[in-house]
Structure 1
Amino acid sequence: MPTLAGIRIVEFGGIGPGPFAGMMLADHGAEVIRIERPGAALGPHAMARSRTIVGIDLKAADGIEQARALCRDADGIIEGFRPGVMERLGLGPEVLIGDNPRLVYGRMTGWGQDGPLSDAPGHDINYLAIAGLLDGIGVPGEPPVAPVNYVADFGGGGMLLAFGMVSALLAVKMGAPGQVVDAAMTDGSALLASMGWGFKAAGMWRDGPAANLLSGAAPFYRCYACADGRHVAVGAIEPQFYAALVAGLGEEGASQMDASLWPARIERFAAIFAARGRDEWIAHFAPDACVSPVLTFDEAAAHPHNLARGTFAGGAPAPAPRFSATPALAPVPPIWRET
């Protein structure tokens, strides 16, 4: 049986991180019932998978009562509206936890339920900007680069909401009452930068893009363009891996951590990598050089390692993480159900 078998979650339809959290819970066995507007079109299949979907008009009094009835029998709910929307609908935590004192009420927002920006609109790039992460992503002399919407929406948002839901559900099982999980993408994004704050406390952090060892300043931890226009990712931090990297490049590798030498080495390594195609370099390097091809989605799905592990299934990423005794369910398309 999967880890969350027997748990019932009501998900109020939304986009981005809320559905991602619902997907994670459903992947691992929770029964996730998603409320959508009647006749609504579903979002991307991967994040709508393994759900039961019911069409309920939340603008109608009988629709509110239908939603409330579902929540009375649930272990948790997920909603991703702006602060105050659920309260105005008559489905706020005071009402739903009043109906069901063991209910875990998960709230997904960009800015959080309070604070000066709580009512402001925003997206992943805005939350990263305020959390201090965006400043360090990109190349010197250019504006910061938006890292798709992987970091705030899904890492700091949906992933943290899923963790919060499971934590609060476990607390209820141990005797705690139901409660609200306030998952804000700004908070979660800031948390993802904990190691950077550790470097800062140790005096080892510089503001700005490509200014630190893990952001592109080091010649042994960055990407390089190859002769065919494709790229390799180099992550040879430890001395033995760096030794394998420079040996493969035919270079001398003394004083790896002397940052004054890094700019010249980056130029030199870039010139060497530009002389061959990406796949030629991958075939050339020993595995312990920490040199990997930068793959497209389609290439990633066809990579031998990902095929061997079943990392992708049905045209999308497979459930993760993996459990030895309680494996996740195989993803299935969502099913509409009449209320």
Structure 2
Amino acid sequence: MAGPLTGINIIEFAGLGPGPFCGMMLADQGATVTVLHRPGRPPDPRLALSRSRNLVEIDLKSAEGIETARKLAKKADGLIEGFRPGVMERLGLGPDALLSDNPKLVYGRMTGWGQYGSLAAAAGHDINYISLSGALHAFGRAGEKPTPPTNMVGDFGGGGMMLAFGMVSALLHAKTGGTGQVIDCAMTDGSAALMAMIFDFHNIGHWRDERGVNMLDTGAHFYDTYETSDDKFVSIGSIEPQFYAELRQVAGLEEDTDFDAQMDQRQWPALKEKLTTLFKTKTRSQWCDLMEGTDICFAPVLSLAEAKEHPHNVERQTFVDVGGMMQPAPVPRYSVTVSDPPTRPV
């Protein structure tokens, strides 16, 4: 694969979710990523999380399989594993063993709770990790229970993406004269880091520690989604005064002086009711005709199927065909080191 990571060799121990996502990110950027999987259990070739990989079947319950894994790690620049703490050590494939073989190896460890701490040995999922970090508490409507944003924040943002960042950082360190090292990537830590701005706002008194009452969590009338007359939805994010003024102008609200109180939180519920009624008067398509492409900060809320067909996404090739499956394209994009199109694993 061509890309900025061409020439980097990564060993990925097969797993679920955030580990494969990290492997996908590295492979998308040109790294050669070899997945070691259980006998008869190769990654599903239809999935984006499996793409652009080399597959090697290996039995980690056998001495021969362990020796094969160790030999591959000797020649690798990096390694990704997502087992519970201690599993790789019991297999004889822990960091001490593999770094003694290959002092430049970057050993990436993906877990929910981290390699140490009172919860390190416990089972868990994204919903639990973002609960502990304070993130889940912030997601949801006012007066309602916390709502997980699928598993974006723990598994993928705070997990897989954070590990990919850590891998590239440590690989750069090793390539510029440093040694290899272990990366302890915990989804609790990562999801807390993703909440940095919200913690900042709370620390300086600009964020109430409640759901659905703040500017960015659907508390504000000018930052929310609204249902249209055809039972679809649109989103607005008219925070800045000039964007808010354009919203009022296009929506016919210039003469309604109630909307002068944009930042008066006491007025937000009543203003939201007005906008709820207003957006129900037209279809989503009609609102798009009026607002899409303006500085209102507007977009239709598209389904998974619709997102692939939107003209902007089509123009940018945001989704690409990989073996007959439409998948999100590799990101980000580079001006010089253009990545090859992703492929099915082989």
> How much has 1:41 moved relative to structure 2?
4.0
Tell me which residue corresponds to 1:244. 246
Structure 1 unpaired stretches of 5+? none
Matches of 2:298 and 2:53 in 1, distance apart?
39
1:251-262 aligned at under 5 Å gives the runs 251=253, 252=256, 253-262=259-268
Tell me which residue corresponds to 1:231. 233
Tell me which residue corresponds to 1:139. 141
Matches of 2:330 and 2:275 in 1, distance apart?
37
Tell me which residue corresponds to 1:13. 14
Is the contact between residue 136 and residue 211 of structure 1 (CA under 8 Å) also seen in structure 2? no
Tell me which residue corresponds to 2:31. 30
After TM superposition, the structure 1 stretch with the greater mean CA deviation from structure 2, 39-48 or 203-212, is 39-48
Select the residue among 103, 124, 127 that pairs with 1:125.
127
Tell me the alpha carbon deviations over residues 263-307 of structure 1, each in whole angstroms, 9 at most, x when there is no partner: 110010001111111111111226111121000111100000000
Is the contact between residue 19 and residue 48 of structure 1 (CA under 8 Å) also seen in structure 2? yes
> How much has 1:329 moved relative to structure 2?
2.0
How many equivalent pairs are there?
335
Q: Is 1:324 aligned with 2:342? A: no
Q: Provide TM-score, normalisation by structure 2.
A: 0.95
Tell me which residue corresponds to 1:274. 280
1:39-54 aligned at under 5 Å gives the runs 39-43=40-44, 45-54=47-56
Tell me the alpha carbon deviations over residues 171-219 of structure 1, each in whole angstroms, 9 at most, x when there is no partner: 0011111100111001000000010111112111111211211001110
> How much has 1:249 moved relative to structure 2?
2.0
1:160-175 aligned at under 5 Å gives the runs 160-175=162-177
Is the contact between residue 129 and residue 135 of structure 1 (CA under 8 Å) also seen in structure 2? yes
Letter in 2 for 1:91: L
Is the contact between residue 42 and residue 55 of structure 2 (CA under 8 Å) also seen in structure 1? no
Sequence identity of aligned pairs in percent? Answer: 54
Tell me which residue corresponds to 1:289. 296
Structure 2 unpaired stretches of 5+? none
Select the residue among 303, 307, 313 that pairs with 2:310.
303
Select the residue among 77, 83, 87 that pairs with 2:89.
87
SS of equivalent to 1:204? coil
Tell me which residue corresponds to 2:5. 4
Is the contact between residue 80 and residue 108 of structure 2 (CA under 8 Å) also seen in structure 1? yes
Letter in 1 for 2:66: I
Give the superposed CA RMSD.
Answer: 1.0
After TM superposition, the structure 1 stretch with the greater mean CA deviation from structure 2, 239-248 or 156-165, is 239-248
Matches of 2:202 and 2:140 in 1, distance apart?
19
Matches of 2:195 and 2:213 in 1, distance apart?
15
Is the contact between residue 112 and residue 186 of structure 2 (CA under 8 Å) also seen in structure 1? yes
Is the contact between residue 81 and residue 109 of structure 1 (CA under 8 Å) also seen in structure 2? yes
Matches of 1:141 and 1:238 in 2, distance apart?
27
Is the contact between residue 249 and residue 269 of structure 1 (CA under 8 Å) also seen in structure 2? no
Tell me the alpha carbon deviations over residues 74-120 of structure 1, each in whole angstroms, 9 at most, x when there is no partner: 00000000000000111000000011000000000000000011011
Letter in 1 for 2:22: A
SS of equivalent to 2:97? helix
Letter in 1 for 2:282: R
Is the contact between residue 24 and residue 51 of structure 2 (CA under 8 Å) also seen in structure 1? yes
Q: Which runs of structure 1 show a deviation greater than 2 angstroms over 4 or more consecutive aligned residues?
A: none
Letter in 2 for 1:294: V
SS of equivalent to 1:23? helix
Q: Is 1:265 aligned with 2:271? A: yes
Tell me which residue corresponds to 1:194. 196
SS of equivalent to 1:222? strand
Q: Provide TM-score, normalisation by structure 1.
A: 0.97
Letter in 1 for 2:333: R
> How much has 1:141 moved relative to structure 2?
2.2
Select the residue among 65, 74, 79 that pairs with 1:63.
65
SS of equivalent to 2:184? strand
Matches of 1:243 and 1:323 in 2, distance apart?
36
SS of equivalent to 2:236? strand
Q: Is 1:212 aligned with 2:199? A: no
Matches of 1:257 and 1:96 in 2, distance apart?
57
Is the contact between residue 107 and residue 182 of structure 1 (CA under 8 Å) also seen in structure 2? yes
Matches of 2:291 and 2:340 in 1, distance apart?
38
Matches of 2:153 and 2:195 in 1, distance apart?
10
Tell me which residue corresponds to 1:159. 161
SS of equivalent to 1:214? coil
Select the residue among 320, 326, 336 that pairs with 1:313.
320
> How much has 1:258 moved relative to structure 2?
1.4
Is the contact between residue 14 and residue 43 of structure 2 (CA under 8 Å) also seen in structure 1? no
Letter in 2 for 1:162: A
> How much has 1:2 moved relative to structure 2?
1.3
